[in-house]
Amino acid sequence: MTRLLVLAIVATGCNTDIDEPWELDHDRIIAVRAEPPAILPGETSQLDTLLGYEVGPVEVKSPDFAQVITPGSLADTVSFNGTHWVVTAPSEERLAQVRTELGLPAGEPVQLRVGVAVAWPTEVMSPEGNGFGAIKSVFLGREGINPPILGLTIDGVEPAADAEIVFSTDETVETRLFVEADDQSDIVNWLTSCGTMHDFDLHAAYVTVAAEDRVEGQLALVLRDSLGGVSWRVWPCRAE
C-alpha cells in the first residue's frame, strides 16, 4: 500500500494535464490543509482537501486515504476517526527519540510528511485506480496556526463570505483582486472558472472576461505561508 500511495503522488502531484494553473474546472487536489498545521504532544490536527472538478463546484472534504511518508517510525500518528483523517502528536519523549534518529537538535519541530489520496468519481479508501495524490507536512512539537486572510479586497471592497462576485463582460475592464501577503515568503494562488485570471500567483491579481470565456463559475483564493499553513476562500462568480 505504501508503494502504491507514493506512486500515485509522484504521478499526479504536478497536475501536468491542466491548461492553466489558475483554472478551477479540473479534477485535482488544489490544496491540503492541516488544522492546525503544527501541534504539541497529545494534540490532534485534522486533514482536509480543497478539490476541483472538471464538472461541478469545488468541494472541501477529508482525503479518502492518508499515510505517513516520513519519518516511518511515526507511521501510527495518522489515523481515521470515522469521519476525518487526523494526525496525533506523540509524547515529547518519543519526539526526542525521533529527533535523535533524524539528527535534529533538541527541541526542533519534527516534520511529518503525510501522503493523501482522493479518488473520483466514487470515494474509496485506497490510492489505487483513479486516485489523485498530494503530500502535506504537519509539524510536531510546536504550536502553529493557518495564516489569516487579511486585507482581502475585490475592486477595493472587502467581499462578504457569501458574496457573489460579478465581473464585467467588457474585456477592457479589469476586476482587481488583493490580499495582504509577502510575495517572497508566502504563496498566493488566485483561481477561477469564470473569465481569465492574470498574475494568479501574486498578492495583487486581476480578472478579465473575453467573449470566449465562461461567464459562470467560482473564484478561489489559496494562501500558504512559510510554516506550512494553508487557508482558502471560495465565492460564486459570474460575468454580465
Quick: pLDDT tens for 136-165: 999 999 999 999 999 999 999 999 988 999
Peptide bond just before 90 cis, omega within 30 deg: no
DSSP string of 148-165, one letter each residue: P--S-EETTBPPPTTPPE
pLDDT value at residue 140: 98
| Separation between Cα atoms, residue 173 and residue 73, nearest integer Å | 55
Give every strand in the sheet of 65-70, ordered side by side: 38-39, 131-140, 110-119, 65-70
How many alpha carbons fall within 13 Å on the CB side of residue 211?
0
| Separation between Cα atoms, residue 150 and residue 156, nearest integer Å | 13
pLDDT averaged over 10-residue windows placed end to end, the chain, 240 residues: 35 49 91 98 97 92 94 97 97 98 97 91 60 90 96 96 95 97 91 96 97 95 95 97
| Separation between Cα atoms, residue 234 and residue 190, nearest integer Å | 10
Residue 189: which of 157, 232, 151 has the closest Cα? 232
Grid cell locating 119 = 479518488
| Separation between Cα atoms, residue 218 and residue 60, nearest integer Å | 14
Number of neighbouring beta carbons within 10 Å of residue 123 = 12
Residue 237: which of 172, 190, 180, 178 has the closest Cα? 190
pLDDT value at residue 69: 95
pLDDT value at residue 12: 38
For residues 183 and 204, the answer to whether their CB atoms sit within 8 Å is no
pLDDT value at residue 221: 98
Q: What are 126-132's contacts with CB under 8 Å, separation 24+? A: 126/1, 126/4, 126/64, 126/65, 127/1, 127/4, 127/5, 127/8, 127/9, 127/64, 127/65, 128/4, 128/8, 131/8, 131/12, 131/64, 131/65, 132/8, 132/12, 132/27, 132/28, 132/29
pLDDT value at residue 183: 80
| Separation between Cα atoms, residue 82 and residue 12, nearest integer Å | 26
